[in-house]
Amino acid sequence: MDDQGCPRCKTTKYRNPSLKLMVNVCGHTLCESCVDMLFVRGSGNCVQCNTPLRKSNFRVQLFEDPAIDKEVEIRKKVLKIYNKREFDFSTLKEYNDYLEQVEDIVFNLTNNVDVERTKQIMEQYQRDNRDIIQKNKAKLTREQEELEELLLQEQQDSEQRRLETLQEEKRQLQAKRKNKQALLDKLESSKLPAAVLLAQHKDRAAQLETQIEKQKQNVKPTNIFSTGIMMGQTVSLASVSRVEEALYVYQPLYIDTYGPPVPELDQLGRQGYLNHVRTASPQDQAGGYSSGLACHRAIQDAFSGLFPL
């Protein structure tokens, strides 16, 4: 960068450290003052290649090689039109072919090969795919999404860490202060000799230290969400594929009792079975008991197994 200079006025970075080089769409450099001078009227021709240029299109040269500046400029323009994403293609191979095609266009435009034809192809493509281009404008590629996610997570992590350490320090400070105050209070009020109290204090301080140590070691790694999903693992947002399975159908239980049919619970009273059973007291009924229950069970017992096999 040090030996770079303006090709027109021959000023170099060494002689004028505040020299600002500018570059336009054709990829040729000029320094800022030359640009101001030559393009007073807002437009003119490039000194080196005679391309008609506008003053407003001059940019500060970012890279050492102005050709790269030019390429990036073109690339950004092309990518605005060719903005299909990977999931717009059915196979990876098609996507890769598409990428290569884009690369070819950029290459042709920067190296001035078949410029007219390439431009035609681009326009054709733009017309054909207008709605897809519109749709994809707002979308980021999947990789960029991932990156954004990572950055966000990084930020959150560092923030959380900062807060945690802050709190931890505060807590420790408080505990220590409390301990000190307790010692002073005791020295004031207790009847024990000061040496003993001091020794006690020392013990407590040591205990506090070890406690703090332990707490520090117990800090859990925070790399799992509360849902149990590992942080950093990308969750696919595609819907879960449906599993086709027969639903469960309830089949009432049938038990062969080898006996005469037992009357239903609500028929017991009508058929007079309950007349010979002790009626339930109000206390029993409070718990949900009815005399029918016991009777029904007794009859079931009695009837089962009466027939020979």
Partner 1 sequence: MKLNIDGLLVYFPYDYIYPEQYSYMLELKRTLDAKGHGVLEMPSGTGKTISLLSLIVAYQKAYPLEVTKLVYCSRTVPEIEKVVEELRKLMDYYTKQTGAKNDFLALALSSRKNLCIHPEVSSLRFGKEVDGKCHSLTASYIRAQHHSNPSQPVCQFYEEFDTVGRQVPIPPGIYNLDDLKDFGRRKGWCPYFLARYAILHANIVVYSYHYLLDPKIADLVSKELAKKSVVVFDEAHNIDNVCIDSMSVNITRRTLDRCQTNVETLQNTISRIKETDAAKLREEYRRLVEGLKEANVARETDIYLSNPVLPDEILQEAVPGSIRTAEHFVGFMKRFLEYLKARLRIHHVVQESAPQFLKDIFEKVCIDRKPLRFCAERLRSLLRTLEIADIADFSAITLISHFATLVSTYSKGFTIIIEPFEDKTPTIANPVLHFSCMDPSIAIKPVFGRFQSVIITSGTLSPLDIYPRILDFRPVTVASFTMTLARTCLCPLIVGRGNDQVAMTSKFETREDFAVIRNYGNLLLEMSAIVPDGIVAFFTSYMYMENIVASWYEQGILENIQRNKLIFIETQDAAETSMALEKYQEACENGRGAILLSVARGKVSEGIDFVHHFGRAVIMFGVPYVYTQSRILKARLEYLRDQFQIRENDFLTFDAMRHAAQCVGRAIRGKTDYGLMIFADKRYARADKRGKLPRWIQEHLTDGSLNLTIDETVQLSKHFLRQMAQPFRREDQLGLSLLTLEQLQSEDMLQKIAQIAHQA
Residues that bind partner 1 (CB under 8 A): 1, 62-65, 68, 71-72, 75-76, 79, 92-93, 95-104, 107, 141, 143-144, 147-148, 150-151, 154, 157, 161, 216-217, 219, 221, 232
CB of 60 to partner 1, least distance (A): 11
CB of 234 to partner 1, least distance (A): 11
- Residue (31 or 71) nearer to partner 1, CB: 71
CB of 157 to partner 1, least distance (A): 7
- Residue (32 or 104) nearer to partner 1, CB: 104
Read off φ and ψ for residue 35, nearest 5 degrees.
-60, -45
- Residue (123 or 145) nearer to partner 1, CB: 145
Closest CA to 164 of 206, 210, 222, 117: 222
How many residues are given for the chain?
309
- Residue (28 or 75) nearer to partner 1, CB: 75
CB of 172 to partner 1, least distance (A): 14
- Residue (5 or 268) nearer to partner 1, CB: 5
Read off φ and ψ for residue 22, nearest 5 degrees.
-120, 155
CB of 69 to partner 1, least distance (A): 9
Residue with tokens 């038990």: 255
